[in-house]
Amino acid sequence: MKELETCLASLGIGLSLGLIGAGGSILTIPVFVYILKKDPVSSGVYSMFVVGISSMAGSIQSIFNKLVDFKAVLTFGIPSVIGVFIARKTIFPVIPDELFSIGSFILSKNMFLMLCLSALMFLAARRMLKPAIKKDQVGKEDKQVKISLLLRGLLVGMVTGLLGIGGGFLIVPALYLLVNLPVKKPLALHC
């Protein structure tokens, strides 16, 4: 029964990634934790691997269809990768296994990561329900946009490194709003 649930969930995740370019990790981690009974820390690593492979397959097709803006990939992607390394090598190891306890309640590292994941899911859902606000980029200098893109790439990488999520639902809006890429291009970068 667990295998059937996992296959159905994987199919749903694949459809989500293919159709909207988002939802991979934010859906994959709960599958690993609640269906496959893996701990949240290793689930984040597994999720990054699964979604990374899926994204790579979609990216190859997007490259052949000439949908990839390599300048945006480098400007956003390199700081993002650096952010993952910073989070995994310096921040993640210093988070204690037990953050605090009150009576018999203990807030563990795993519980804290799942709470952060839940909060991020909630904030993303709340933001998606609000009407889109298109910021005018005409007045902004190219240098300001690049610096903002570099910093957001670093931030997205750090969130991804800590929680194992954050790709599509953070990358696509950042590239769409900051660089004014048509929606298909940020999706192509992530898929």
pLDDT digits (tens, 9 = 90+) for 46-70: 887 877 777 777 778 878 888 787 8
pTM for this structure? 0.71
Task: Report pLDDT for 187.
Answer: 46
pLDDT tens digits, 82-120? 998 999 899 989 999 999 999 999 999 989 988 988 888
Which residues have C-beta within 8 Å of that of residue 121, sequence separation ≥ 6?
26
Strands 98-102 and 105-108 turn out to be antiparallel
Report pLDDT for 181. 66
Would you list the domain boundaries of the chain?
A: 2-190
- What single DSSP character describes residue 138? T
Judged against a pLDDT cut of 60, whether residue 135 lies above it is answered with no
Return the closest-CA partner of residue 187 out of 57, 12, 67, 28.
Answer: 67
Q: What is the pLDDT of residues 142-168, one digit of tens each?
A: 777 788 888 888 988 888 888 877 666
d(CA 141, CA 127): 26
Q: How far apart are CA 49 and CA 7, in angstroms?
A: 17
13 and 47 Cβ atoms separated by less than 8 Å:
no
Residue 172 CB-density burial (10 A; 0-12 exposed, 13-18 middle, 19+ buried): buried
Give me the pLDDT at residue 140, please: 58
